């Protein structure tokens, strides 16, 4: 069965279409809309999970009001490489320590999709494990796959996965983001993965109800991005896109604008000494509930307590301590979001939040809110005109304006569309499920876009692997929290995103003492880069590994003696046979008491 999935910044959903009827899948019985799964993950200390509305409820129950306890903990090591002559590069590991909140019961993750814009974000450490970003997304996609299969009673192997028009203005970052989504879908168990842009999917849904050809302007405004599309829809021909662009503005940005208006309760405009303004960097950290706890670290909390004695606004400093120390940032932002939503129906909304020294009572007029988001309104107006120009379409030529996404309900943006097009042309699609409905139609019609050339990385080029020994090796894929060897229960606890999901040969750890010049042979059906992860305790590498290039990457494997670090080396090979020596082949020096790992990345063929 083929399904459509809308993995969203705020909410996610899945649906299927049989050619006549659209079936949205129930995902979260605790949510107000049972067909929508809030894109929340709560990971507990034992690495069990809660998702959606249950994740929020568990976090609020276990973490709100809890004071952090910061302790200095060992976080791992960074590999340092110094070029050497003759004997190869000299490598050593530099230990890294950080302050860790040891009292935390779990960690809540929200807006995971948003980090795909950031090329520097590869994953995060949660308690004793490192989660790559593709693994985090796979948690949500995998849960949706299981729930649709349990409801329809059949396997679901094919998916059309929604994506915004653009994750970034940089094409390389945009492609990287889609590649991560592709890997996550494969990790979740989908074998056939195609894509469709979210506003175009919504156009497909409208297309089926439109008897004659029309020009539609799609306004898809969600929690993370705004997508604008001009398309021909309706009639017998398939939809045709005339122009489309993504705008890096979302509902989360509007929440932050309201939070900025509340910073006066936490020190904005105050003096922390007679002639010293409240630190700007602290205000910046308060604009997101995820970064607020950074101010509860001992060094920052010490400053805040000192401010309570020296500031001209000591109550604000006590409120600030309460905010960052009692983990109430998420609750505050949920209150902000409710006020924003209320302003879509009312001209005035109350925002009341009381906890300890925090005593917020605000009356927000819709007009005030519109002034707060004036910058976003201006950007949306400019981009709307730009996409019309790109499409070569005048506003009067547009027959219908289709708005979808939770943020499309905000009156200021509806008014903006009316100024450009006319109120009579505006149609409201179901804000939370119209995109996934379109994805389901696209899935049924088989009109999703194939993944990019990067998909070749995950097609195994390995053929006929043979090992010169009695222990079993097998073809596999590198994944975190999976066993590193065929014969030991040692798990990979940290894996670089660059290696995550690559084809590999899972070796046997009992072969760690092999001194053979030719220990492992395999065939490559096309050129590829071979990666070797070799135990860091070796003082000198075996000679066969000297032709490999050291990478700024390392793998961590759990072991009864502690976490073991494996620096990574690479070498490009043409199609044909590859021969690797034994773990303790000629030239090795030092305690290489665990076998190496092997991964392979095909070289892209246009």
Domain residues for 517?
A: 459-602
Q: Is 167 helix (H, G, I), strand (E, B) or coil?
A: coil
In a domain, 401, yes or no: no
**Model confidence at 89: pLDDT above 90:** no
pTM (two decimals): 0.88
* The domain boundary residue, chosen from 407, 422, 453: 453
**Model confidence at 75: pLDDT above 70:** no
- Return the minimum-mean-pLDDT range out of 203-212, 459-468, 488-497: 203-212
570 with 443, same domain: the answer is no
436 with 521, same domain: the answer is no
Residues 523-535 have pLDDT tens digits of: 999 999 999 999 9
Q: What is the mean pLDDT of the chain?
A: 91
Determine the pLDDT at residue 85. 44
Q: Is 60 helix (H, G, I), strand (E, B) or coil?
A: helix
In a domain, 417, yes or no: no
180 with 59, same domain: the answer is yes
CA dist., res. 101 & res. 69, Å (int): 5
| Beta strands in 151-270, from DSSP E residues, in sequence order | 158-163, 192-197, 214-221, 226-233, 240-247
CA dist., res. 161 & res. 187, Å (int): 14
Determine the pLDDT at residue 74. 60
In a domain, 468, yes or no: yes
484 with 436, same domain: the answer is no
In a domain, 444, yes or no: yes
Helix orientation angle between 314-325 and 298-310, rounded to the nearest 10 degrees = 160
The DSSP bridge pattern shows strands 400-404 and 426-428 to be parallel
Residues 118-150 have pLDDT tens digits of: 999 999 989 888 999 999 999 999 999 999 999
CA dist., res. 163 & res. 185, Å (int): 12
- Return the minimum-mean-pLDDT range out of 97-101, 400-404, 518-522, 602-606: 97-101
The residue to which tokens 């000299």 are assigned: 90
437 with 541, same domain: the answer is no
Through-space distance between the first and last CA atoms of the chain, rounded to whole angstroms: 31
Residue 93: pLDDT band by 50, 70, 90 thresholds? low
**Model confidence at 88: pLDDT above 60:** no
Q: Which residues of 20-56 are buried (b: 16+ CB within 10 A; e: fewer)?
A: eebbbbebbeebebebbbbbbbbbbeeeeebbbbbbb
- DSSP codes joined into one string, 459-480: S--EEEEEESSSS--EEEE--T
445 with 506, same domain: the answer is no
* Cβ neighbourhood burial of 394 (10 Å; 0-12, 13-18, 19+): exposed
pLDDT above 90 as % of the chain:
77
Residues 261-280 have pLDDT tens digits of: 999 999 999 999 988 999 99
- Return the minimum-mean-pLDDT range out of 246-255, 374-383, 388-397: 246-255
In a domain, 257, yes or no: no
- Residue 493's H or E segment, with its range, is strand 492-494
* The domain boundary residue, chosen from 406, 421, 453: 453
436 with 532, same domain: the answer is no
**Residue 439, domain CATH:** 3.30.420.40
What is the count of structural domains for the chain? 2
In a domain, 250, yes or no: no
Determine the pLDDT at residue 430. 84
439 with 533, same domain: the answer is no
Residue 425: pLDDT band by 50, 70, 90 thresholds? very high
518 with 535, same domain: the answer is yes
- DSSP codes joined into one string, 508-546: -GGGTT---SS-EEEEESS-EEEEEE--TTEEE--GGGG
Residues 279-325 have pLDDT tens digits of: 999 999 999 998 998 999 989 999 999 999 999 999 999 999 999 99
- Return the minimum-mean-pLDDT range out of 216-230, 372-386, 499-513: 216-230
- Return the minimum-mean-pLDDT range out of 171-185, 380-394, 429-443: 429-443
In a domain, 244, yes or no: no
CA dist., res. 414 & res. 405, Å (int): 12
SS3 labels along 402-421: EEECHHHHCHHHHHHHHHHH
Residues 48-62 have pLDDT tens digits of: 999 999 999 999 999
Residues 555-574 have pLDDT tens digits of: 999 999 889 999 999 999 99
* The domain boundary residue, chosen from 399, 422, 453: 453
Distant-in-sequence, close-in-space partners of 328: CB < 8 Å, separation ≥ 6? 64, 65, 322, 355, 358
In a domain, 485, yes or no: yes
438 with 516, same domain: the answer is no
Mean pLDDT of 433-446: 90
Residue 225: pLDDT band by 50, 70, 90 thresholds? confident
Q: Is 578 helix (H, G, I), strand (E, B) or coil?
A: strand
Of 366, 365, 372, the residue nearest 409 (C-alpha): 366
**Model confidence at 100: pLDDT above 80:** no
446 with 531, same domain: the answer is no
441 with 536, same domain: the answer is no
Work out the number of other CB atoms within 10 angstroms of the CB of residue 560. Answer: 7
CA dist., res. 32 & res. 244, Å (int): 32
Residues 358-392 have pLDDT tens digits of: 999 999 999 999 999 999 999 999 999 999 999 99
């Amino acid at each position: 069965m083929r399904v459509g999935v809308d993995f969203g910044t705020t909410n996610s959903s899945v649906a299927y279409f049989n050619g006549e009827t659209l079936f949205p899948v129930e995902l979260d019985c605790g949510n107000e809309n049972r067909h929508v799964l809030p894109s929340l993950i709560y990971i507990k200390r034992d690495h069990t999970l809660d998702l959606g509305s249950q994740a929020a409820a568990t976090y609020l129950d276990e973490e709100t009001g809890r004071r952090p306890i910061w302790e200095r903990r060992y976080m791992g090591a960074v590999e340092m490489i110094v070029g050497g002559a003759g004997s190869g590069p000299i490598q050593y590991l530099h230990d890294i320590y950080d302050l860790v909140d040891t009292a935390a019961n779990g960690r809540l993750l929200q807006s995971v999709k948003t980090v795909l814009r950031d090329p520097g974000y590869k994953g995060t450490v949660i308690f004793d494990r490192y989660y790559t970003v593709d693994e985090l997304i796979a948690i949500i996609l995998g849960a949706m796959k299981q729930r649709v299969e349990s409801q329809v009673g059949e396997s679901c192997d094919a998916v059309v996965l929604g994506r915004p028009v653009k994750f970034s203005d940089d094409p390389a970052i945009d492609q990287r983001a889609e590649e991560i989504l592709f890997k996550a879908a494969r990790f979740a168990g989908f074998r056939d993965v195609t894509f469709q842009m979210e506003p175009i999917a919504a156009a497909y849904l409208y297309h089926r109800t439109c008897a004659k050809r029309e020009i539609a302007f799609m306004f898809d405004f969600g929690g993370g991005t705004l997508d604008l599309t001009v398309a021909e829809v309706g009639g017998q021909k398939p939809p045709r896109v005339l122009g489309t662009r993504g705008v890096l503005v979302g509902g989360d940005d509007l929440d932050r604008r309201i939070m900025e208006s509340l910073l006066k309760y936490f020190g904005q405009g105050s003096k922390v000494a007679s002639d010293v303004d409240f630190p700007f960097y602290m205000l910046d950290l308060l604009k997101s509930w995820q970064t607020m706890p950074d101010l509860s670290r001992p060094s920052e909390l010490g400053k805040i307590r000192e401010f309570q004695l020296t500031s001209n606004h000591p109550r604000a400093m006590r409120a600030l301590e309460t905010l960052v120390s009692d983990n109430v940032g998420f609750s505050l932002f949920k209150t902000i979001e409710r006020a924003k939503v209320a302003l879509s129906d009312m001209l005035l909304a109350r925002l009341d939040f009381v906890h300890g020294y925090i005593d917020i009572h605000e009356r927000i007029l819709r007009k005030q809110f519109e002034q707060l988001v004036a910058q976003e309104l201006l950007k949306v107006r400019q981009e709307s005109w730009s996409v019309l120009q790109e499409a070569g379409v005048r506003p009067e030529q547009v027959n219908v304006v289709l708005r979808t996404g939770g943020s499309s309900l905000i009156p200021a943006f509806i008014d903006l569309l009316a100024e450009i097009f006319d109120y009579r042309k505006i149609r409201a699609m179901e804000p939370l499920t119209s995109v996934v409905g379109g994805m389901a139609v696209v899935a049924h019609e088989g009109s999703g876009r194939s993944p990019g050339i990067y998909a070749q990385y995950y097609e195994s080029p390995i053929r006929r692997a043979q090992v010169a020994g009695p222990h079993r090796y097998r073809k596999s894929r590198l994944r975190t929290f999976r066993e590193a060897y065929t014969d030991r229960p040692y798990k990979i606890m940290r894996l670089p995103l660059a290696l995550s999901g690559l084809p590999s040969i899972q070796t046997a750890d009992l072969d760690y003492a092999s001194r053979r010049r030719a220990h492992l042979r395999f065939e490559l059906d096309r050129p590829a880069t071979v990666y070797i992860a070799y135990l860091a305790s070796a003082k000198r590498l075996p000679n066969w590994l000297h032709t490999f290039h050291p990478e700024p990457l390392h793998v961590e494997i759990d072991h009864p003696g502690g976490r073991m670090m494996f620096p990574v080396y690479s070498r490009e090979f043409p199609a044909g046979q590859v021969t690797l020596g034994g773990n303790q082949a000629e030239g090795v020096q030092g305690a290489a008491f665990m076998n190496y790992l092997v991964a392979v990345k095909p070289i892209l063929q246009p």
